[in-house]
Chain A
Amino acid sequence: MFMSSNETRPYQILAARGRQRKIGEGLRRLYVDIVEEPTPEDYLSLLAQADLRSPTSPSEHFSTRPSTMTNSGSS
């Protein structure tokens, strides 16, 4: 299936690198597409329920209340 190294021509190495780069871009694109998708409602209700059930007030990092969406601008 794989060619031995002395049969591999420079253009084949270049072509493989090019395909490798395209695959890498594809992986990243698939990831970013999901990041940019609106978060399904069930996630937000899951977190909202957790927040309501919580007896103590949640830490800043974990607050699921909408107000934290604006002041967590680190990312």
Chain B
Amino acid sequence: MIPLVPHVRAFAFSLMRRPWAEDLAQETLHKAWKARASYQPGTNLKSWLFTILRNQQMSDARRSWRIAPLDPMVAENTLVTNDDPLAAEELLDVRNAMLMLSFDQRQALALVGAAELSYKEAAEICGCPEGTVKSRVNRARTALLAILESKSRHKRGTSNIAASQAFGCIMEEAASMQAQPRSRA
């Protein structure tokens, strides 16, 4: 089980913010250990662990506020790794956008897009048909793009205003230059 601990953590981190992700991953390993007799040797141990984690998250969701879609105002502002500040900012944006998705979409995209499992494996873990996973992944990707686009539009917005003001200044300047000869004449 130890070689899969990093994957359990990574899956939890794809779904939750850091402190809750650690809780979720540890709870998963604890549950897995207690339920180890129900694991069938020869079947995929990673899928089995991910199923436990996914079920744990769903049961937490039923009795807790803690997995509510992330409030962007309290979004995470640090990543542990990454030397390139620009790339780190982009990754952080992706992460925060991911945490704003609905549960179902987040799980589907975490399994297929982040953990790179097949649709079939993801469907078994989520307990739903493969087609449902596919449409959740597609909707999740569209939603992520929309969140990130609106964020970058928002960022660009300030410079656009500055640019249009600058453009306005140039036009005024040009108009006054044209007007000057006449006023002198």
* Chain A residues near B (Cβ < 8 Å): 1-2, 16, 19-20, 22-24, 26-37, 39-40, 42-44, 46-47, 50, 58-64, 68-69, 72, 75
List 10 additional contacts besides A35-B7, A46-B30, A69-B2; criterion CB under 8 Å.
A27-B98, A27-B114, A30-B79, A36-B6, A42-B26, A43-B5, A47-B5, A59-B36, A62-B36, A64-B2
In the complex formed, the residue of B with least CB distance to A36 is B6
- Which residues between 1 and 44 of chain B lie within 8 Å of chain A, taking CB atoms? 1-7, 9-11, 13-14, 22, 25-26, 29-30, 33, 36, 39, 41
Give the chain B neighbours of A36 by CB distance below 8 A.
6, 81
Evaluate whether A33 and B79 lie within 8 angstroms (CB atoms) in the complex, with A1-B146, A61-B45 already known: yes
Give the chain A neighbours of B180 by CB distance below 8 A.
none
Contact of A23 among B4, B7, B94 (CB under 8 A): B94
Shortest CB-to-CB span from A7 to chain B, Å, is 16
Q: Judge whether B54 is part of the interface by a CB distance below 8 angstroms.
A: no
Give the chain A neighbours of B29 by CB distance below 8 A.
43, 46-47
Q: Judge whether B122 is part of the interface by a CB distance below 8 angstroms.
A: no
Is there an interface contact between A30 and B9, defined as CB atoms closer than 8 Å? no
Is there an interface contact between A39 and B9, defined as CB atoms closer than 8 Å? yes
Bound complex: CA of A27 vs CA of B98, how far in Å? 8
Give the chain B neighbours of A2 by CB distance below 8 A.
146
| 10 closest cross-chain pairs (CB), A and B | A26-B94, A31-B114, A34-B10, A35-B6, A50-B33, A27-B114, A62-B36, A35-B10, A27-B113, A31-B10
B: interface residue count bin: 35 or more
In the complex formed, the residue of B with least CB distance to A34 is B10
Bound complex: CA of A28 vs CA of B6, how far in Å? 14
Q: Judge whether B148 is part of the interface by a CB distance below 8 angstroms.
A: yes
Give the chain A neighbours of B146 by CB distance below 8 A.
1-2
15 intermolecular pairs with C-beta atoms under 8 Å apart: A20-B141, A23-B148, A26-B91, A30-B79, A30-B94, A30-B95, A31-B14, A33-B82, A34-B13, A46-B29, A47-B2, A47-B33, A62-B1, A63-B1, A72-B3
